[in-house]
Every structure is written in structure tokens, then in C-alpha cells.
Amino acid sequence: MIKLFELRTEKSLSQRELAKIMNVSQGTYNNWENENTQPSIEQLIALADFFEVSVDYLIGRTDDMGNAVSLPNRSLDYAGKLINSVDTETQEAIITILKKLQK
């Protein structure tokens, strides 16, 4: 998972912010980024969808970002489920992050 740090910093996100988006603890995310543990298949797909890259790129099997399968409805459904599954404070943090990414 060499690419997590690179992709996260390109979006100017902290580990804490991305951990909230992924609905995991900062420690869990930190372990992924430092390759101490690995995310599940579902989490890999969610990360690839979030960063709009292929899973192969994300895990370092290719240097070509590739064309991630574009599933806008699925991505939006997934994002909506994530947002609805967290408390109001976290929802506000997500909105702040999305506004930051939009700029």
C-alpha cells in the first residue's frame, strides 16, 4: 500500500480526516499507510473509489493510475451510506473535507 501516503497528501488530507471518511480509527489507517496491516477487499475498493484510481495502482502493482471502473451511482450510494452512518460532528467534518477537495 505504498500509494496511500502519496494519494492522501495530494488531497491535503490528514490521516485523521481520511480515517473518518473510511470509518476506521486513525490507528487503523496509520497501520495501513505504514504497511503494518492491510485493509479488507471492501476497504481497498472504497479507497480506490475515493481516490479514483484502480486497486492495482493503489496496492503498487502498476504505476499507471488506470481507469478505475467508473460507477458513479455506486460511489454516491456508498458515500451516502458512510455519511449517514456517522454522528453529526463527523458529517460536518466530511462536508468540510469535501469543500476543501472541491477547491
pLDDT, tens only, 65-94: 664 444 455 566 667 777 777 888 888 888
Domain covering 3-102 in this structure, CATH number: 1.10.260
Question: What confidence score (pLDDT) does residue 13 get?
Answer: 92
pLDDT tens-digit readout, 53-70: 888 888 888 776 664 444
Question: What confidence score (pLDDT) does residue 99 get?
Answer: 78
Overall average pLDDT of the 22-46 stretch: 93
pTM of the model: 0.63
Highest mean pLDDT among 2-6, 27-31, 80-84: 27-31
Q: Are 19 and 29 spatial neighbours (Cβ–Cβ below 8 Å)?
A: yes
Question: What confidence score (pLDDT) does residue 17 get?
Answer: 92
- Structural domain boundaries of the chain? 3-102
